[in-house]
Chain A
Amino acid sequence: MRTKRPAVQIDIGPRPIRLEPLTQLMEDPTSGAVSVFVGRVRAERGSGKDFALRYEAYEPLARKTLKGLSRTALTKHGARKVLIQHRTGILRVGEPSVLVAVAAAHRKEAFVACRYLIDSLKKEAPIWKTPVRRGAR
Chain B
Amino acid sequence: MPTKVHLRILLFATAREAVGRDEIDVPFETGVALRDVIGSFFADHPRLGSPRQYRFALDGDLLEKGPASVRLVRSGELAILPPYSGG
Contact = CB atoms under 8 A, between A and B. Distances in A.
B81 A58 contact: yes
A118 B87 contact: yes
A126 B60 contact: no
Contacts of A121: 86-87
B61 A97 contact: no
A70 to B, nearest CB: 15
Contacts, number: 61
Interface residues of A, number: 24
B86 A64 contact: no
A83 interface: no
Interface string B41-75: 00000000000000101001110000000000000
Contact of A39 (B55, B57, B87): B87
Interface string A44-55: 000000000001
A60 interface: yes
A129 B85 contact: yes
Nearest to A64: B60
A56 B12 contact: yes
Interface in A114-137: 118, 121-130
Nearest to B60: A60
A17 to B, nearest CB: 13
Interface of B: 10, 12-14, 17, 55, 57, 60-62, 79, 81-82, 84-87
List the 6 shortest-distance A-B pairs measured between CB atoms, nearest first: A127-B86, A128-B13, A60-B60, A122-B87, A128-B85, A39-B87
